[in-house]
Amino acid sequence: MYRRHLLAFAATPAFAQDARPARMLVPYGAGNITDQVARVLADALAPRWGGRLTVENQPGASGMLGTQTLTRSPPDGSVFAMISVAALAILPHVTRQMRYDPLTDLAPIAGVSVSSSFMAVHPSLPVRTLAELAAHCRARPAGDPVFYYSPGNATVPHLNLEAIRRALDFPMEHVPYRTSAAGNTDLLAGRVQVTMDSASLTLQHMLTGALRPIVYNHDRRHPQLPDVPTIGEAAPGLTLLNAWQGLFFPRATPAAIIDRTARDVLDVIGTPDFAARLPIGTSPLVMDPAALAAHMRADHERLGRLVAAIGLTVD
């Protein structure tokens, strides 16, 4: 009996070291852009890992609930999560009752994707440039403001438009929606006039003329809209955030498991097939564990300063 127990004990760490993740948590609902990216990645990784990788949506509290589940999961390499930047670098600054610290409770694995965005306006708004938008908003009567939508308070579109508004010193009124789809529906109908949401949502409408592009949040112009300036061209010196997604283990996961998983993930996201299957406006974000940790920390600090300047809280 003693020998059988000793052999079982000795085999456990070896199994953990050799195992691959079986569950990928997504702290958002089905169809969310992070969920879409997670399923593309899972399809690419499953053949490498014996076909056993399930995607599990755990939405709630803007990503906080599912991320908390990860922090409470066993650090044995069996569970990891695809998490977007808002739950890592925005929520900690606006939520009084945070249930985790992203800088200490998570183990970065790899960057996966980044989603570009456009500032888009309803065609009824008589503006074609960022400078014209700022001037138009300043000239509007106080009782008749320009409205912009975001998919909720403390989301990336919300903070980006607040950063633009403050940098150029012009008024706009924020209208938070529960989802981007609901806000975009009202933008297309002219009930709100401006957004800076994901290109995956707005690009098709800008190409048909249903929306008018103003600026592109990227360091290069978009090939399908080459006349639209980048944010750096329209507002030199202003840096905005593009929503990105990364993979994380619980904090105490062994370094060997993290490094091996990172190698597999980086091999996959570096392929043309992976890039081709991502949602419109989304591209691979190739970052190893150290690079992802530094990227998260930099955004955490920068967005903390912006949230403090706005005086924003969500609970």
Last residue of a domain, one of 234, 264, 295: 234
Is the residue at 303 inside a domain?
yes
Task: Report CA dihedral (151, 282, 37, 284) to the nearest 10 degrees.
Answer: -140
Last residue of a domain, one of 182, 207, 234: 234
168 pLDDT exceeds 90?
Answer: yes
Write the CB contacts of 81 (distance below 8 Å, at least 6 apart in sequence).
24, 25, 26, 27, 66, 67, 69, 70, 247, 248
The dihedrals phi and psi of 248, each to the nearest 5 degrees, come to -140, 145
Backbone dihedral region for residue 30 (phi beyond 0: left; psi -120 to 50: alpha; all else: beta):
beta
Last residue of a domain, one of 180, 202, 234: 234
Lowest mean pLDDT among 3-17, 34-48, 90-104: 3-17
Number of domains within the chain: 2
Is the residue at 257 inside a domain?
yes
Supply the CATH number for residue 59's domain.
3.40.190.150
Residue 141 shares a structural domain with residue 110: no
Supply the CATH number for residue 178's domain.
3.40.190.10
Is the residue at 6 inside a domain?
no
Structure tokens at 202: 């707005």
Per-residue confidence at 315, pLDDT binned at 50, 70, 90? low
pLDDT tens digits along 256-288: 999 999 999 999 999 999 999 999 889 999 999
Report the Cα 257 to chain-centroid distance in Å.
25
Is the residue at 13 inside a domain?
no
Is the residue at 193 inside a domain?
yes
The whole-model pTM stands at 0.84
Is the residue at 14 inside a domain?
no
Which is nearest to 88 in space by CA: 101, 79, 75, 97?
101
Residue 193 shares a structural domain with residue 294: no
- pLDDT of amino acid 42: 96
Residue 187 shares a structural domain with residue 220: yes
**Residue 124 half-sphere exposure, CB side, CA atoms within 13 Å?**
10
pLDDT tens digits along 189-211: 999 999 999 998 999 999 999 99
Residue 247 shares a structural domain with residue 107: yes
Residue 99 shares a structural domain with residue 131: no
Residue 229 shares a structural domain with residue 121: yes
- pLDDT of amino acid 13: 40
Structure tokens at 305: 């300063």
pLDDT tens digits along 214-233: 999 999 999 999 999 999 99
Cα separation of the two ends of the chain? 56
- pLDDT of amino acid 7: 34
117 pLDDT exceeds 70?
Answer: yes
Residue 96 shares a structural domain with residue 61: yes
Residue 205 shares a structural domain with residue 294: no
Higher pLDDT pick, 279 / 108: 108
Structure tokens at 125: 């708004």
Residue 140 shares a structural domain with residue 204: yes
> Of all residues in the chain, what percent carry a pLDDT higher than 90?
77
Task: Print the domain residue range for 188.
Answer: 117-234
Residue 92 shares a structural domain with residue 74: yes
Is the residue at 138 inside a domain?
yes
Residue 140 shares a structural domain with residue 100: no
pLDDT tens digits along 26-76: 998 888 889 999 999 999 999 999 888 999 999 888 888 999 999 999 999
When the pLDDT of each residue in the chain is averaged and rounded to a whole number, the result is: 90
Tell me the average pLDDT across 6-11.
Answer: 35
- pLDDT of amino acid 5: 36
Is the residue at 94 inside a domain?
yes
Which is nearest to 83 in space by CA: 120, 46, 58, 104?
58
Residue 124 shares a structural domain with residue 230: yes
CB 121 within 8 A of CB 101: no
Higher pLDDT pick, 185 / 311: 185
